[in-house]
Amino acid sequence: MNQNAEDITQWVNAPIFHIGETPVTFGGVGAGICILLGSLIISSIVQRVIAGHLRKKANLSTSVIYALRRIIHYCFIVLGIVLAAQCVGLNFGTLAVAFGFLGVGIGFGLQNLTSNFISGLILLFERPIGVGDLVNVDDKIAEVLSINMRSTMVRTFDHVMIIVPNSKLIENNVINWSIGDLKIRIHCPVGVAYGSDTKRVEAILLEIARKQEYVLDEPKPEVRFLEFGDSSLNFDLLVWTAKPDNQKRLRSDINFAIDAAFRENDITIPFPQRDLHLKMTPAMEMLAKGEKAQ
């Protein structure tokens, strides 16, 4: 029995390979793996406890709590990696050399990954966007589901999942519909035929706006006479709503109502028209004269 224990001890302490003069053993590797797994488990427990406490006591928003949980998770991962490296046999000098080589690798081929990781930290600390926010991504309104180390996961209203690199959210202009005042103004352009009663058109558009469920009374809807177009008198109906996620549906409802109201009141929505002038060439004139003579 003692012989078996000695054999196991020798096997555990047998060097697999050397990093410089430091031997890396099976025991050290196993201890390092256990520490990494333990750090992940402890991180999960600490996140749940702190998040539950903050929800009850501090009354913080979901996005703030999510950011704190991600930061705690990253801290435990870094701590676990350092402790695991010590168990394996890597001292701080060796780690410095390893990070030096890693820095060279980053400089040559990992700039994008590093940029996205740092951008993710900025998103968590500054919180220009948070989980649950509505943002514009590729001209689509989407809900932020998670902010990860490299990318942010969003979901459009068509339930399409989009993975957005974190650097894109930092470097580009991003519309966040959930920050500050939720009221937004919606433009509903429409053209009517020349000769239409412009005051009547204005009254009909305002009446349509007042009947919409999600249109606010204050600020009041307004109608602007934009221009004398090529084929139409162009107006713009402007309404305010407190539901930015419903803006496309609201614009659609208003357009349906405008079409029905204009039909009822004999107001024409024109289509572009063009006059075509043909210049007669001498050959065409001779051909036309010949046909007339016959």
Q: CA 112, 114, 116, 119: dihedral to nearest 10 degrees?
A: -140
CATH 2.30.30.60 fits domain 128-171? yes
Residues 233-257: pLDDT tens digits?
999 999 999 988 889 999 999 999 9
Residue 278 has pLDDT above 70, yes or no: no
Domain segments of the chain as ranges: 2-109, 128-171, 184-264
Tell me what pLDDT residue 200 has: 95
Contact yes or no for 126/56 (Cβ under 8 A): no
In the structure, what pLDDT confidence band is assigned to residue 161 with cuts at 50, 70 and 90? very high
By mean pLDDT, which of 59-73, 123-137, 228-242 is the weakest?
A: 59-73
By mean pLDDT, which of 73-82, 182-191, 203-212, 274-283 is the weakest?
A: 274-283
Query: What is the percent of the chain where pLDDT is above 90?
Result: 30
Q: CA 60, 66, 71, 72: dihedral to nearest 10 degrees?
A: 80
The alpha-carbon radius of gyration of the chain (Å, integer) is 34
Contact yes or no for 238/224 (Cβ under 8 A): yes
Residue 178 has pLDDT above 70, yes or no: yes
The better pLDDT of the pair 254, 89 is held by 254
| Cβ neighbours of residue 61 closer than 8 Å, sequence gap 6 or more | 130
Q: Which helix (H) or strand (E) holds 241?
A: strand 233-241
Average of per-residue pLDDT across 70-81: 83
Residues 188-245: pLDDT tens digits?
999 999 999 999 999 999 999 999 999 999 999 999 999 998 889 999 999 999 988 8
By mean pLDDT, which of 6-15, 53-62, 144-153, 170-179 is the weakest?
A: 6-15
Average of per-residue pLDDT across 77-104: 69
Tell me what pLDDT residue 262 has: 95
Tell me which CATH code domain 184-264 carries: 3.30.70.100
Same fold, 128-171 and 184-264: no
Tell me which CATH code domain 2-109 carries: 1.10.287
pLDDT, the chain, mean: 81
In the structure, what pLDDT confidence band is assigned to residue 20 with cuts at 50, 70 and 90? low
What long-range pairs does 2-7 form, CB within 8 A, spacing at least 24?
none
Residues 27-49: pLDDT tens digits?
777 777 888 888 888 888 888 88
Tell me what pLDDT residue 293 has: 47
